[in-house]
Structure 1
């Protein structure tokens, strides 16, 4: 089955005020992390930290995601544009967020927060890792709705036709005409892999269930972080084979993408952390007492 992508990226429009689906997906990501994080905090999965402390961690992590994601995207994928127009760094409404940059931003925020509280950095990361995948899922949904980061042509009778993925002059054709061409089957050869949904499934849903199950009982330090890095690196590397390379350019061999190069260190790091966890201590939960009157 071939689906014609015709989703308005604007969810709500009230006069000059426009709310984009991408922004809503980010809101859902943070709300999900807040809800799951409160559960893990109350279960004492980060001993010595109460709900107020977790709220601070989440706030700093949100800043890390936004700042790191945008800066990382411009450095990894839009350096020439950034050098030509430094103000393009702030054009977040045009899209362009890097997971790897966002990850570095979150890690920097977690390191700073952990140092202030005298906690081991990887205890914090192990605590936070299971909160991330559902946010990644919502982010990929945002990519799909915004018709960005699509995949290669399927070459068969299924896939998704993205207007932004059509060649010129079709890309500039009005939507009514494109719908007519779609109904007539004239656009079938432009059906692409919905790689955003593949990533939402693997990096989001599958990773969440694996990490939530894996972290359900106390694990040695580094283990949960290692599992996160390994799973993300493997899943992202695999999906890149059917996803169009960023800026349409392969780094090497006519198949290796920049996304794969950035994911390989995560695979190595994941394996290293899992090995290190075999000799690391296990952090025992200390449930947070319920506030007075709510016991």
Structure 2
């Protein structure tokens, strides 16, 4: 099996640290069941800020559009019990990730079981929490912010010995990134469709570099989405149950669609959140 774009050759160093696919199963069932326990009932009586937050989230979902900026809800100063209850209520959905902002602050992102609702924790270089938010958006704003400082053009030298197709691939990437405009459909390069030698892949990795965003999605199988060091160029890899790459691609786009909440998700999530509020918080 040919190595994937972000898989190092045998004996080499991993070019980028990414989250392990399938390392932890979704917690959605346990999180939602928690609300039916006596412990949750007692927490709900105490945690009125959580009860006030839920209808605000639902209202934001009702008007949110996939192509519009999201809305942030600052819970940094909420009591710890409220934060825990928010965590339990939102649960863990399909998409999670990490983004390193140009300031050096790291955003740890987890989508809720309600698609389009995200928990974002910001930590400094020492791992200290500096901000805690719930965000209603198709994708957290931190993802775009992290990629905003990336260069838009590719700089590289001559192809190494043993290269086969890396130079045409780099030409294609350079052409597509140069012409890309927000809202354009993604241009996908699938490595399964043409031969790439180890020298090709190594040179491509070195040329594009590692970017500041790593995401995983478990919506339809497991998928790893990694920003390269070039703006709008993403590695998107799909895995089977044995953690083997079955589709290895580069996408030239704003953000790969597999990580983004769709338009219809917002209204579905609004209805689900209002059901939870009605059943447990009133």
TM-score tier (shorter): under 0.3
Answer 1 or 2: which has greater strand percent.
2
Given the two structures, how large is their TM-score scaled by the length of structure 2?
A: 0.26
Answer 1 or 2: which has greater helix percent.
1
Given the two structures, how large is their TM-score scaled by the length of structure 1?
A: 0.25
